[in-house]
Each structure stands twice: as C-alpha cells, then as structure tokens.
Amino acid sequence: MESDLEVLNKLVSFKSELNVLHGHIQQPLNTAVAGAYVCELCGKCFKHRNSRYNHMAKHEGTTRCHICHQVLGQKSNMKRHLRHIHGVMGV
C-alpha cells in the first residue's frame, strides 16, 4: 500500500506533466469558464485580466529583444533579459 506522501508525489508529478503537455499543445482553455480572459489573436486564456494585458505585449512586438531578436513573454522579462544577457543598463 502506498503512503500518502507517495500518492501526493504522483499527483504533483502528473499535474506537472499535464502543464507541460498543455504548453506544447497550446490549446486554449474552455472559454465558457467564468472569469476567463481570452487573447483575441491567439486564443490563449488567462484567469486574470492583467495577465492577458501583459501577454498582449508579445503580439505588439514590445517583448522582442532588439539585439538577439528573442521573444519574451512579458515586458519585465524583456528588461531583465537586456540587463543580464546583454548588459544594457537603464531599462
């Protein structure tokens, strides 16, 4: 018989695998869920309005590094990328 800890570890592992799978498939969540905020451009869903707002920067091109052209998920990640990877200060 499995201990509670073993069962919990299996559940956490399974949830992690589902999250990875969801990321690879890129299927939008059920938009009928109350409080879901959907990106009109790519169909990605967010629980919070502000998360969708931050995501839109990706479509606007404001999260693409002008040095290496890497696309990051949020403006804050872009600023950190510029500081730590390229040594650009004052961003």
**What confidence score (pLDDT) does residue 16 get?**
61
Burial class (CB in 10 A: 0-12, 13-18, 19+), 46: middle
**What confidence score (pLDDT) does residue 10 get?**
66
Residue 82 has pLDDT above 90, yes or no: yes
Is residue 68 within 8 A of residue 86, CB to CB? The reply is yes
DSSP code, position 71: B
- Between 28 and 82, name the one with better pLDDT: 82
**What confidence score (pLDDT) does residue 30 get?**
47
Instruction: Give the mean model confidence (pLDDT) for residues 69-86.
Output: 90
**What confidence score (pLDDT) does residue 91 get?**
74
Residue 54 has pLDDT above 50, yes or no: yes
How many other C-beta atoms lie within 10 A of the C-beta of residue 68? Answer: 10
